[in-house]
Structure 1
Amino acid sequence: MKVLVTGGAGFIGSHLVDTLMKEEHEVRVLDDLSAGSLENIKRWLDHERFEFIKGDMRDLSVVKKAIGGVDAVFHLAANPEVRIGAQSPELLYETNVAITYNLLEAIKDSAVEYLVFTSSSTVYGDAKVIPTPEDAWLEPISVYGGAKLAAEALISGYAHTFGFRALVLRLANIIGERSNHGVIYDFINKLRMNPKELEILGDGTQKKSYLHVSDTVEGILHIFEHFRRGAKSFDVYNLGNDDWITVKEIAEIVSEEMKLKPLFKFTGGVDGGRGWKGDVKLMLLSIEKAKSTGWKPRMNSYEAVRRTVEELLG
């Protein structure tokens, strides 16, 4: 296939690009490099099957140019920071909803057959059922989660109206090499600055599911192939792990791997121990639907956290 990966220079996107190139697809990346880095994809820059376009998806003409001649679009471009929603909701709208609208406007008049969108577990908010299945009630408690859900809804509407097929993947917390934000990245940087004390947002009992990026990419491509063989215009899958881990346990693993014994200083957080306003305190996705396709993660949450700490420490 000839594929476009939006946000392909970013954390998850660059790992996806690596696999697509190894599978001998023609790959085009569209990225404005606001969150991504050319360093992540430098090994492919001169390859005959690879093309990089630096561009802002808020410009429709840029998006229309980028989708020319492609069969499938993997849409990973987004602002990855959940916390920014409280300070800058308009930025989350522009870099999640508006760019998705532009992409859909470009796709509807094109030959693109498939759109794969990486959404988020945050669309569920404080889930009423845990593990949370795909048909659970959707009530985001952050602007980030709301923006992801808005993008999902637009994609569903466009796919049904304009005749292309769309797959939505709701991701748990994705971690691994090249990540440049999130709790593990933050803990490592804090301990490098002050090895004796570690500030932990919230009360430390926040408990979530973590998936290593290698398992994530494998899951994205496996479920996409399963979806292609089916007949649905639109479908949704959770991608996560069967277990979960607390923030305090993550802090202990990071400290152990760095051979430190810092004093943990909990901020207490907001709204019953959350790290910040809009932080989902408990998240465990049901991945039974994904596993029914033949995929399952190779690492559990604990193993993924430890592997990520090793990778980020180099």
Structure 2
Amino acid sequence: MLIYVTGAAGFIGSHLVDRLLSLGHRVIGADNLVRGTLDNLQAAFKNENFRFFDLDLTDRASVETILHPVFAAEEKVDTVWHLAANSDIAAGVADPNIDLRDTFMTTFETIALARKFGMHNLAFASTSAVYGESPERLVETLGPLLPISAYGAMKLAGEAIISAAVESFLKQAWIFRFPNVVGSRGTHGVIRDLIDKLLVNRDELEVLGDGEQKKPYLHVADLVDAMIFIWQTAKERRSLYNIGPEDDGAKVSFIAKSIVEASKTNAKLRYTGGDRGWVGDVPRFSYSVEKLAGLGWRPNGGSEAAVRRAIDELIAERGLV
């Protein structure tokens, strides 16, 4: 198949590109390289079935100049995988324009492109942040949804505009609500942040919050497996699935201690206090993946195993040895 991937050079997008190419698909990737890097696509560039375009998806004039001739000359794209978004939740809280532009408008413009060139299937990277802070177990039917970050709000708006597009021209849409995803090529998140702090000071490690924040974590390899499984298996026109581990998560204190142990720095932990790391952070939630299990997919391990694997990968990547 011919596949179009936005956010192709990013953390998750680049892993998805690698997997799609390994399955024999032809992939056209696009990314503005603000958070993604060409290094993430080193393997993909060696594959003749991959083409990449550096552009701002919200700049309609650039998209028309660069991508319209490509899609006009090609056979129809089977599926658009839309992963382009702002991934820094705290930055979006400080300046909501970031998520309006990078999280919602990339979605809006990608749908417009899909409509113009008859791309009838769309897979969308959403997030558990759409649920907001809820005492209830987060199941796909929960509502009303009240996000507490601009990122979550714009992802929820993206889900809504995609749902409307299914009514007008899309044949099928797959919406994946991610947990905290960790692993190699990660650009943000607690593991990357703590490792980067140790690169500056190996004697003391500042940890935001009280360490009791507890969230589900999934390794990026499992995430990509789950997305592709849902894409190949789910038949609903609007296929909405939580993706995550089957446990209740790992504490930030566990992550910090595991990083100190793996890095062999013996750094002293210093917690800043409070029940969350930043404004817009959901300190803990219970995530249901029963619907996905019913479809036939289960993760390889739990949150703590995913965290340990990601720590080893990122310590090696960041040079904390």
Same fold (TM over 0.5): yes
Who is 1:156 aligned against?
163
Deviation for aligned residue 1:283: 2.4
Residue of structure 2 in register with 1:219 after alignment: 226
Counterpart residue number, 1:27: 27
Letter aligned with residue 31 of structure 2: D
- The alignment partner of 1:292 has SS state of helix
Contact 1:140–1:146 under 8 Å retained in 2: yes
- Equivalent of 2:245 in 241, 246, 258: 241
Q: Is the 8 A contact 1:212 1:299 kept in 2?
A: no
State whether structure 2 residue 185 is matched by structure 1 residue 174: no
Deviation at 1:48, TM superposition (A): 2.2
| Pairwise CA distance, 1:110 | 2.3
Query: What letter is aligned with 2:246?
Result: D
Paired position in structure 2 for 1:6 = 6
What's the offset of the Cα at 1:164?
A: 2.9
Counterpart Cα distance in 1 of 2:265 and 2:286: 29
SS at match of 1:83: helix
1:306 corresponds to which residue? Answer: 308
**Which consecutive segments of 4 or more residues in structure 1 shift more than 6 A?**
none
Q: What amino acid sits opposite 2:244 in the alignment?
A: G
Q: Which secondary structure state, in structure 2, belongs to the residue aligned with residue 167 of structure 1?
A: strand
* Stretch of structure 1 that moved more, 37-46 or 96-105: 37-46
* 90-99 or 40-49, larger mean C-alpha shift: 40-49
Structure 2 partner of 1:110: 117
- Does the alignment pair 1:263 with 2:268? yes
| Residues 121 and 283 in structure 1, CA contact (< 8 A), matched pair in contact too | no
Question: Matched residues in 2 for 1:299 and 1:205: separation?
Answer: 22
Which residue among 285, 290, 293 is the counterpart of 2:292? Answer: 290
Residue 133 (1) aligns with residue 151 (2): no
CA distance in 2 between counterparts of 1:125 and 1:208 reads 13
Q: Structure 1 residues 222, 61: closer, same or farther in 2, change over 3 A?
A: farther
Per-residue CA deviation, residues 22-53 of structure 1 (Å, 9 max, x unaligned), is 10000010111111111111222253211111
SS at match of 1:152: helix
Aligned partners of 1:28 and 1:193: how far apart in 2?
Answer: 38
Q: Which residue of 2 aligns with 1:207?
A: 214
SS of aligned partner of 1:264:
strand
> Any idea what SS the aligned residue of 2:47 has?
coil
Contact 1:5 1:30 in 2 (8 A): yes
Name the CA distance, whole Å, in 1 between partners of 2:293 and 2:120. 25
Q: Unaligned 5+ residue runs, structure 2?
A: 317-321
Aligned residue for 1:253?
A: 258
CA offset digits 1:79-134 (Å, max 9, x no partner): 1011112211001110011111111112123221210000010001112312x111
Q: Which residue type is aligned with residue 263 of structure 2?
A: M
TM-score w.r.t. the length of structure 2 is: 0.92
Percent identical pairs in the alignment equals 40
TM-score, normalization by structure 1:
0.94
Two-structure CA RMSD over aligned residues (Å): 1.4
Residue in 2 aligned with 1:123? 130
